[in-house]
Amino acid sequence: MLGSGDYVADRRLATVLFLALRMGRPLFLEGEAGVGKTEIAKVIATALGRPLLRLQCYEGLDVSSAVYEWNYQRQMVEIRLAEAAGNVDRETLVEDVFDRRFLTKRPLLQALEADPTGRPPVLLIDELDRTDEPFEAYLLEVLSDFQVTIPEIGTIAAEEPPIVIITSNRTREIHDAVKRRCLYHWVDYPDAERELDILRLKAPNAAETLSKEVVAFVQELREMDLFKLPGIAETIDWTNALVAIDQLSLDPAVINDTLGALLKYQDDIARMDATQVNELLGRINAGVAGGKDG
């Protein structure tokens, strides 16, 4: 299934995804930024023909942005119309203005409802580590029973649970109570062979020699003490940038000119002086030559 969506996965990732789908458990994916965590949810939604609902997390995310909020403007119009008609029964009016038609549904509430074909959606809770702990606590009800409670209406539960993918870049630890409700997988940087397979899919116009050199260069960078190691997304971006300038292989000048597509912090770019680049290229060329001889 992942292969049909041009996603190159290792056996462990494919296995834990299979188990999550078979057991109906949320899948918690943790790893560095740019290693392909979010893409997994997109591939699943496309492959299974399910709608994708994405909740992008951020500091200060609350219930009104993640679950629901009342449409106060429409409620006020309803109240004004009732007052203009006269003979307002306040209890009846309260029930009317807190009817579901005045409810604005956010991703978590939408995920509890099947689409018109009756298929539950794929719910992507992206970068959960960016939120606050109170939101994590609220999320437990959703992950435990696939339901939310709205005081004015009651409990809304899913007839069939959505497929839930949670991602974290591990900028902080997620509470154990959330992890216990999920199957867990650490998405690591790929090895050279898998990264080359990814480039063949995602940057098909790149020359084979260029792709091999890019992968070797990136693999070397990940052994360095950089502030932010390049992820798969950066490898693809850099390769496509090199293709855009008709580059067939790496050389010091083109590396210097295009490093901004690969490294995203000035301190990391500054470390890549001419001496460092030449040393890396020397090791890469020796490795590529050795591979050809073999």
Q: Where are the domains of the chain?
A: 3-67+106-186, 68-101, 192-289
Would you say domain 3-67+106-186 falls under CATH 3.40.50.300? yes
Q: H-helix or E-strand containing 84?
A: helix 72-85
Where does the chain show beta strands of DSSP type E? Answer: 27-30, 52-56, 68-70, 103-105, 122-126, 147-150, 154-157, 163-168, 183-186
Q: Are 217 and 20 in contact (CB under 8 A)?
A: no
Query: What pTM does this model have?
Result: 0.86
Confidence band for 27, pLDDT divided at 50, 70 and 90:
very high
Please give the average per-residue pLDDT across 95-121, as a whole number. 85
Nearest to 124 by CA among 166, 181, 95: 166
Confidence band for 50, pLDDT divided at 50, 70 and 90:
very high
> Is the pLDDT at 97 greater than 90, yes or no?
no
Give the pLDDT score at 61: 93
Confidence band for 294, pLDDT divided at 50, 70 and 90:
very low
